[in-house]
Structure 1
């Protein structure tokens, strides 16, 4: 078995660690590029969303590199994501690829059942080895997310442009290749100190923006034109409201966060509308009440839950007196136009701050 999977932020690092820990050969999908997107667009339905197209491109590139098994999440509910795996499987079969596809429903609070289902595809793996690999993969995921959270604050204060990003990329590679928890902790500590050493710029007006929206665009920099880096390089501290660890842990366990979302969304949205629509509304209210300077919503063009949320957060913007900007993305999105919009948004936030 030579297994592969789609890119989504640090998911590659986590799955590689887990599968190699049980001696399953991994064929990493190449980093997402314009080539990946072009392949996905060529073989995807025209109006399907951007994550679908990128994922399909990931699968084709990995199959061309020797993968013979694809693992993908499925699911049910209003979001079309639940259909992706099956639709992509049919497309790949039509294109003549020979492979197996494992489509797993998200845990939805049933982690034990999820792991049992996953383990059924690897009957020769000893359960203690699988548990050890799974725990170490989760530890890497948590460290990687902690490191990125620090990046999104410290890079807004970097004194040499581009150096902070290079440090982050170098240490993320070290996190990916770490062999044990002690090594992992040492890498994080050393990497964080290097980030801090390059973050000494003081700004007269320090802006803070919260990023809300659809989970894939939140996690995969290529899909959102690396909006966090663009905002940081404009001197804006960024808070991403979803990380991979949040997404997977809240899917695996029945945690209070869902109740928190409902509490913040109360009066604006009283039910789950699929995808991350409820999260988007709740987080917009939450960070408006935390006195952030602005909110940016990012989502794939044609994403119905986020389109519904977009209309609701416009009302939140008026009620809470906080600027909200919504950005949708597809394969035709141009970086120059979006950069201009970010710069204009920054100017708006600075003018508001000066009037306070």
Structure 2
């Protein structure tokens, strides 16, 4: 078995740790690129969303490298994501690829059933070894997210542009190679200290912007054009509202965060509309109440839950007097145009501060 999966933030590091820990060969898809997008667009329906197309491109590139098994998350509800795995499987079969696709539905509070379903695909693996690998993977996931959260604040204060990013990338690579929890903790601590030492200039006026929206677009920098880095370089502290660890842990254990979303969205959205639409509305309200300078809403073209949320957060913007900008991405999105829009939005925020 040679297993692969789509790129989505730190997901590849987590799955690689888990599968290699149980002795399964992993075929990493190449980093998402223009070639990845071209392959996905060429072999997907025109009106399907950007994450779907990039996933297809990831899978084609991994299958060409020798992968014979694809792991994909499934789902239920109004969002089309629940159909991704099945449709992508048929597309790839029609293209002549021979492989097995493992589609796993999120736990939704049933961790034991989820792990049993996962184990059924790997019957010869010792469960103690599997549990150890899984726990190390989760530890790495949480550490990687903590490091990125710290980066998105501290990089806005760096002395020399680019150095903080290099430090972050260096320690992410070290996390990938970590063999146990002690190493993970040590790497996280060292990485955060180095980032803090480099980013030691405090500006008199510091803007704070929250990024809300569809989870894939928020997690995958190659798809959102590394918007966090762009904002940091303009002197803006960034709070990203979706992380892989938050999503998986809340899905697994049904922690109170979902109740918090419903509470914050009350009066604007009273039900789950699929995907991360409810989260988008709730997080916009949350960070408006926290007096952030602005909110940027990131979504893929044709994403129905986010389109609904887009209309609702326009009212939140008026009610709380907070600037909100929506950035809609598809395969035709150009870097230059988005850079100009982001710079103009940041200029607006500075003017509101009287600068």
- Partner SS state of residue 222, structure 1: coil
How many Å separate the matches in 2 of 1:254 and 1:351?
A: 42
Alpha-carbon shift at residue 239 of structure 1 (Å) = 0.2
Q: Which residue of 1 aligns with 2:201?
A: 201
**Unpaired runs of at least 5, structure 1:** none
Q: Which residue of 2 aligns with 1:340?
A: 340
- Partner SS state of residue 210, structure 1: strand
Question: For residues 236-256 of structure 1, what are the alpha-carbon distances to aligned partners after superposition, in whole Å with 9 as ceiling and x for unaligned?
Answer: 000001100001111111111
How many Å separate the matches in 1 of 2:331 and 2:254?
A: 36
Q: Which residue of 2 aligns with 1:266?
A: 266
Question: For residues 126-171 of structure 1, what are the alpha-carbon distances to aligned partners after superposition, in whole Å with 9 as ceiling and x for unaligned?
Answer: 1101110110000000000000000000100011111111111111
Question: For residues 194-215 of structure 1, what are the alpha-carbon distances to aligned partners after superposition, in whole Å with 9 as ceiling and x for unaligned?
Answer: 1112112221210000000000
Q: Does 1:224 align with 2:229?
A: no
Q: Which residue of 1 aligns with 2:294?
A: 294
Alpha-carbon shift at residue 36 of structure 1 (Å) = 0.7
Within 5 A, what are the aligned runs for 1:274-293? 274-293=274-293
Q: Does 1:75 align with 2:75?
A: yes
How many Å separate the matches in 2 of 1:254 and 1:192?
A: 29
How many Å separate the matches in 1 of 2:81 and 2:12?
A: 19
**Unpaired runs of at least 5, structure 2:** none
How many Å separate the matches in 2 of 1:138 and 1:3?
A: 19
- Partner SS state of residue 221, structure 1: coil
Q: TM-score, normalised by structure 2?
A: 0.99
Q: Which residue of 2 aligns with 1:132?
A: 132
- Partner SS state of residue 79, structure 2: coil
Alpha-carbon shift at residue 109 of structure 1 (Å) = 1.1
Could you list the runs of 4 or more consecutive aligned residues of structure 1 that deviate by over 2 angstroms after TM superposition? Answer: none
CA RMSD of aligned residues (A): 0.8
How many Å separate the matches in 2 of 1:348 and 1:134?
A: 45
Q: TM-score, normalised by structure 1?
A: 0.99
How many Å separate the matches in 2 of 1:148 and 1:254?
A: 24
Alpha-carbon shift at residue 187 of structure 1 (Å) = 1.1
Query: How many equivalent residue pairs?
Result: 355
Q: Which residue of 2 aligns with 1:152?
A: 152
How many Å separate the matches in 2 of 1:207 and 1:295?
A: 11
Q: Does 1:253 align with 2:266?
A: no
Alpha-carbon shift at residue 301 of structure 1 (Å) = 0.5
How many Å separate the matches in 2 of 1:191 and 1:102?
A: 35
How many Å separate the matches in 2 of 1:21 and 1:117?
A: 18
Q: Which residue of 1 aligns with 2:48?
A: 48
How many Å separate the matches in 2 of 1:219 and 1:66?
A: 26
Q: Does 1:331 align with 2:331?
A: yes
How many Å separate the matches in 2 of 1:185 and 1:246?
A: 19
Q: Which residue of 2 aligns with 1:354?
A: 354
- Partner SS state of residue 125, structure 1: coil
